[in-house]
Amino acid sequence: MIRVVFLGPPGAGKGTQAVRIAEKYNVPHISTGDILRAAVSEGTELGKLAKSYMDKGELVPDEVIIGIIKERLSQPDVKERGFILDGFPRTLPQAEALDELLSELNMPLDKVIYLNVDDEEIVKRLLSRGRADDTEDVIRKRLEVYRKQTAPLIDYYSEKCLLVEIYGVGDVEEITKKIEEALGLEG
Ligand code: AMP
């Protein structure tokens, strides 16, 4: 059972590391970005709404994202195996809503893994990734949004004694090992 949030700037490697841990320990990987991109490609109402924000590098409104997370975290696989949240929460209201939901569901968080990466490295990685929202202007906007709206969560979780900071540059396997150590996993 693992219940963890992966926090960090865009391009920190949250997705890469989340997938590695999720596969190795058979824990549901919940990426709000992936859920939104799937909705966009299916052309659903949610997708249409989300696309207008994603294209600009802005955040989709809290109530929309919180609704998605409520539904997903209420599924039986999460009850049984836990979760790796990747890209959620991204704002203080999202973090507060998550606290409330997890306490209702009786599923306390084990840890928040904060993957920290230098600014130049982030821009370099995002420019080479080639996703639809990885153009230079949108990258700049996403970094600004991260600093203003998401970075305050570092203090929020640090005050709750849940935060573990891991430097996210270097060998992917080594970074996975550090995460496993932080989570008390065998490796
Ligand atoms: P990501 O794949 O996590 O980088 O997310 C891609 C885009 O989806 C973001 O730039 C936002 O527009 C949107 N998004 C993903 N997660 C959230 C969230 N928790 N809150 C608001 N918007 C989100």
CA of 88 to the centre of ligand 1 (A): 8
**Structural domain contains residue 129:** yes
Question: What are the pLDDT digits (tens) for 26-84?
Answer: 999 999 999 999 999 999 999 999 999 999 999 999 999 999 999 999 999 999 999 99
Q: Which pLDDT score, from 0 to 100, does residue 119 have? A: 86
State whether the beta carbon of 11 lies less than 6 angstroms from ligand 1. Answer: no
CATH number of 91's domain = 3.40.50.300
Question: What are the pLDDT digits (tens) for 143-162?
Answer: 999 999 999 999 999 999 99
**Structural domain contains residue 118:** yes
CA atoms within 13 A on the CB side of 105: 23
Domain that holds residue 148: 2-30+81-179
Is 147 known to be catalytic? no
The protein residue with its alpha carbon nearest to ligand 1, atom 14, reads 33
**Structural domain contains residue 121:** yes
- Predicted confidence (pLDDT) at residue 98 exceeds the cutoff of 70: yes
**Structural domain contains residue 63:** no
Is 125 known to be catalytic? no
Domain count, the chain: 1
Q: Mean pLDDT, to the nearest integer, of 100-123? A: 95
**Structural domain contains residue 44:** no
Q: Mean pLDDT, to the nearest integer, of 92-100? A: 98
Q: What is the DSSP letter of 131?
A: -
Q: Which pLDDT score, from 0 to 100, does residue 123 have? A: 87
Is 142 known to be catalytic? yes
Is 3 known to be catalytic? no
State whether the beta carbon of 87 lies less than 6 angstroms from ligand 1. Answer: yes
